[in-house]
Structures are given as C-alpha cells and as structure tokens.
Chain A
Amino acid sequence: MKELIEIWRFREVLFNLVRRNLKVRYKNSALGFLWSLLNPLMQIGVWWLVFKVIWEMPEKNYTAFLITGFLPWLFFSQCVLDSTACVTQDMPLVKKAYFPRAILPISSLLSNLVHLALAFVVAVVLFAIWRVNVNIHYWLVIPSTLLVATFAYGISAMLAAWSVLYADVKFIVGNLLGLWFFLTPVLYPIHRVLGKQPTEAENWLRQLINVFLPYIKTVYLLDPITIGILGYRSGLLRGGENPIIVSPAITPEMTPEQVAAVYAQAAEKQALLQAQYPIGHYIIGAAIVALATAIIGHLVFRRLSWTFAEKG
C-alpha cells in the first residue's frame, strides 16, 4: 500500500518514461507505429501460408484466428523482452536518483499496453473490412488483457532484477519465449491439445507424454496467456461463447452425408471437451496463477532492487 502511494507520487516520472519508450520505439512518428506492425504482419502472413495454404487447417477465418491469438502473445513476449533491459538501460538514473524502482518495469509494461491498444485498433479495422463480426462481446478483451498483463508484470519484474545481476538473462529469455510460443494456442485450435488421446508408445518420450497427459493438459490450460488468447478469441470471433471449439474438417470432395457426419462428430467432441474442461474454473485458476506470479515477481524485484545501485 505504501508502495502504491509512493508510485502514485512519482506518476509524472512513470508517464514521462512511457512517453519516452513510445517515442523511441516509433521514432516520433505515426509511420513509425505502422512500421512496427510490419514484422508481426509478415509473421502472420507466413503462418497463414504454411498452415492454411499448405497444411489446410480447417479453422474458419484463420487469419483472424491468428491475429486474435498473436495480439496477446506479442504483448506478453514484448513485455518480457523489454523488461530485461528496463533497469539496465536506466542504470545512470538508478545510481543517482531516488524513485520507486518498480516504476521501471511498470513503465515498460504500460508502454506495451499502449502499443497493444494501437495494434488492436488496426486489427478491428481489418476485421471490419473482412466482415468478421464486430460486436458487444469485444469487452472480453479487457479482462483477458488484464489477466495477461498481471502475469507479464510478475515475470517482467523478476527478469528485470535478474538481468541486472546476470547479463545473459536476456538471451536465455529470448530462447525460452521462442519455445513458450508453441505452448500457447496462437497457431492451432485448443481442442488439438485438450482432445489429445494417449497414442501408441513408440519411444520413451511418447511414453512419458502418455503418462503425464492429463496433467500436461491441466497445466496448459492454467497458463494465463492461453486463457488470455481464448478470451480474445471468444470475444472477437465467437461472440462471447465458450472458446473450446472443435471445427469440423470438411473437404470439398465429401458427400453431403459425410459432411453431416463430420459436423456431428465435431459437435459431440466439442460438447465432451467443454464438459471435461469447465472454462470458468480454469479462468479462476489462471487468474490465481497470474496474481501469484505478480506478487512473487514484485517481491523478488523489491528485494533485489536495493542492490541495483551497488552494481559496478
């Protein structure tokens, strides 16, 4: 509480740091913002090519599907990456002037939140052009973002402090994020993971996965980023419905009877999964995970922040 008041007292610094981060990021121009979208848009284009065109992913509106998953992921990963530099880049300030140190990771989080908001506007414009339903259920984006932001703060604060002590944290973080990306449902629908059945154990790794499969699924669905992505998808693409959805895989050469059978099968599987994984419980679980991470991350940061200025 005392800390919050102290941060509020220094809100002007926070505001100025956020402004600085954004100005530096966009090089002071609106074109700079559009430029910063180039890379993610290209990434989405490549995924679309690989998974929709080559792989023939049955997901409808796959591009919109990718964007809704990529927005929260990009926010999270950028927060975490920026956090590894947020204290070290302002070391001269840290060594000379007093201010609540938590302002540094918070400012990097807030700048990324602004960036997310701007990117979100661009996404909505795209959806409107594509006639993907733009509707009231978009509000789900707000709690989903809050969930991801809380989680991101905890991880960021922890990494910010460790980066001061160890210069190679940022490289390790970059690599781990690359792996983590595949553990979130940005590219593929969630039922691919939740509906996974134990397969024939051809090697020890498969055996291991088979043994731990139920736990893996639970942990997977408790990841605040996964829940955040599901929230975005539910709000933006599914009109607020349960985001655990099984898309029927239909091919043009199927007969009408086959199509009907595939639809029935998908609906059955979807109902089963939704009953098996009550989404409400997992939302609460993910919120607890996010909050606990934020608190632990903040405590680690606070403990170490007094040693920042001692670093040579």
Chain B
Amino acid sequence: MNPSVEPRAAHEASPEPVIEVQHLWKKYRRPHIKVTSLKEAFVAFVRGQTGYTEFWALEDISFSVQPGEAVGVIGPNGSGKSTLFAIIARVLRPTKGTVSVRGKVCPLLELGTGFHPELSGRDNVYLNASLLGLSHEETLARYHDIVAFAELEDVMEAPVKTYSTGMLVRLGFSVAVHMDPEVLLIDEVLSVGDEHFQHKSFDRLKQFKDEGKTVFVVSHDLFAVEKLCERSLWVQHGKLLMDGPTSEVIEAYREAVAQQEQSVGG
C-alpha cells in the first residue's frame, strides 16, 4: 500500500511472509465519563461531559512472520497485545499502517465462544466451523476427528450447558486445529485444560509448525510461549520493544519486570 516502504532485504525475501505488519498504529478514545446507556448519554450530554482522551494503543508496529514460524507476543496486561491480535484477526481496523495476512487465518476461539448453551455439542461444532470458513460437507468429513481429538464422543448430543469448562476448551481447540488454517491465532488459551490435554495440544501445535504452518500466540504465560515459540515480540505501552529469539526476549522481559518490582519495592 505504502509506496515509500523499502523493498525487503534479499535474504528475508525468499519465502513470502504470512503475516506482514507495516507501521501499524491504533488509536482508541477513552471517554472521561463512561457511558453505557442512553440515559447516561443524555445526562452526560446535558452536563457537557462528552469529552474524551485519545491515546495510541499501538504505535508504529512493524514485523513480519514467515511460514512455519511460531511467534509469541508477550507483555503485561494493557500493553496492546490483544489489540494487535484483534487487528490481525480482522476484528479491528488499524488507524494507520497496513496489515496483510496471506492464506486462511483461524483464531482459536476462547472457551465457550460461539457456543450456545442450549445447543448440543454437535450443533456448536458446525456453527463454529462454519464461522471459521468450513462448509457443511467439510465439517462433516472432519467431524469424527474433531470429536475424537476432544475426547467427547459420549456427550456430543447433550447441550453444551452441561459441559465442564475443560470440555468446552477441548472442543474449541479441537475445532480450531482441524480447520487446516495457514495461520492459527491463539489468545491466552494455552494454559487451560488438564495436564493430559495440554500435552496433547502442544504436540498438535508442534506438528502444525512442522507442516509449515504459522502459529501466532498472544499470551502472558511465558512458559507456554517459551515452549512453543522460537521467536517472540515484546509489546509494552503499545510499542514493539524487542523482536528476537524467545529466550532472549523473555530474559530481557523478566529483567525489566524484576527491575520494576525492585524500584517499586525500594
């Protein structure tokens, strides 16, 4: 989009990047008085309290991800991680800059997302899969694999309101990894489920990477990121502070956190 962007360096250009983020800025408005109803809006309007502060949730973020890479985004709460995730998932629009994603992107939906409590597990799988871009026939072909991976064969006809949290997570994860996406987006859902299922899902994600697919993880669970991703981005206050091998980024991040704690403690 931006003609002034320099051509990529030759050694990087060999495979086409799957995710390419160029000078991404995202501005939010934070109203001084939080208005959630028309009544409040009316009162705020009459009192003239309609002011808001604008702030940048993301400032000039640029990076690209190659096929087969697993990239983690780490940072404290409110750092802009989730905004970055939402923009890559095409849920939010950037204020400035461009984001291009090649191939099929599949967000791993949070537990219960898209699941309606009254509907059976089966109906929810179909709803979720169609949302992630599968046709009815394609879902039908994978249905048994999805259920088997989630280990929920016996309860698929029961309404999901009878499921435990762990069961919902397993089903959500299973649907997402059976979509054959080129890019799997994961937001804070790695550390849920029991030990057994965690191992299983990690194995599955590893296999995913080996197939040349891309995993993009947003999490503040450093262990999960360390285990899965060879490369990490450290985002804080909306800025990309560091982009490099996970071990180095996490070390620097931990140091910064420790320093901050020290200065607060002292």
Interface positions of A (Cβ within 8 A of B): 10, 12-13, 15-17, 19-20, 23-24, 27, 90, 92-99, 166-169, 172, 306, 309-310
Interface pair A96/B127, CB less than 8 Å apart: no
Interface pair A96/B187, CB less than 8 Å apart: yes
Contacts of A92 in B (CB 8 A): 109-110, 112-114
A12 in contact with B135 given A17-B127, A20-B119 (CB within 8 Å): yes
Cα separation A20 to B109 with both chains bound (whole Å) = 18
> Which A-B residue pairs are the 6 nearest by beta carbons?
A98-B90, A12-B130, A168-B37, A92-B113, A16-B127, A309-B91
- Besides A16-B123, A97-B131, 10 more A-B contacts (Cβ < 8 Å) are A16-B127, A24-B118, A92-B109, A92-B110, A95-B86, A96-B91, A96-B107, A96-B113, A96-B187, A98-B105
A-B contacts, 21 listed (Cβ < 8 Å)? A16-B130, A16-B131, A20-B127, A23-B119, A24-B116, A24-B118, A92-B110, A92-B114, A93-B114, A93-B131, A96-B107, A96-B187, A97-B91, A97-B107, A97-B131, A99-B131, A166-B38, A166-B41, A167-B36, A168-B38, A306-B92
Contacts of A306 in B (CB 8 A): 92-93
Interface positions of B (Cβ within 8 A of A): 28, 35-39, 41, 86, 89-93, 105, 107, 109-110, 112-114, 116, 118-119, 123, 126-127, 130-132, 134-136, 187
Cα separation A94 to B113 with both chains bound (whole Å) = 9
Main secondary structure on A side of the interface with B: helix
Cα separation A95 to B134 with both chains bound (whole Å) = 19
Interface pair B126/A16, CB less than 8 Å apart: yes
Q: How far is the CB of A239 from chain B (nearest CB, A)?
A: 43
Q: Which residue of A lies closest to B117 (CB)?
A: A24
Counting chain B CB atoms within 10 Å of each CB, the highest count among A17, A93, A306 belongs to A93
Contacts of B134 in A (CB 8 A): 12
A97 in contact with B132 given A23-B119, A24-B118, A306-B93 (CB within 8 Å): yes
Contacts of B90 in A (CB 8 A): 98
Cα separation A166 to B41 with both chains bound (whole Å) = 8
Residue in A27, A99, A309 whose CB lies within 8 Å of B118: A27
Cα separation A131 to B89 with both chains bound (whole Å) = 58
Counting chain B CB atoms within 10 Å of each CB, the highest count among A10, A27, A92, A172 belongs to A92
Cα separation A310 to B29 with both chains bound (whole Å) = 10
Counting chain A CB atoms within 10 Å of each CB, the highest count among B114, B132, B136 belongs to B114
